[in-house]
Amino acid sequence: MAASVKTSGAFSNDPPIALFDTRMRPTYTPYAFSNATTDGQRFLINVLPEGATPTIGVISNWTTALKK
């Protein structure tokens, strides 16, 4: 998402618009500012391959591994 902002005088912004449409992996931080090019024209985004289904890994009895 992106929005134009005006900082001269009173701060104001235009409504946000979508920059691109993608299937992101279900993670907390799919991209970060450090993954953008210096000119802001490209982003590195962790996406699911075409046709892939997201998965969730569950570890049971994980406290036992802490004791090792």
Domain membership of residue 42 as a residue range: 22-52
Phi/psi of residue 63, nearest 5 degrees: -70, -25
pTM of the model: 0.38
Question: In this structure, is residue 2 part of a structural domain?
Answer: no
Q: What is the pLDDT of residue 53?
A: 79
Q: What is the pLDDT of residue 33?
A: 46
Question: In this structure, is residue 9 part of a structural domain?
Answer: no
Question: In this structure, is residue 28 part of a structural domain?
Answer: yes
CA distance 23 to 19: 13
pLDDT in tens, 3-61: 999 988 899 999 999 887 766 655 555 555 457 778 878 877 767 777 877 778 888 98
Q: What is the pLDDT of residue 57?
A: 84
The total of structural domains in the chain comes to: 1
Closest CA to 52 of 23, 27, 10: 23
| Residues 27/55, Cβ–Cβ less than 8 Å | no
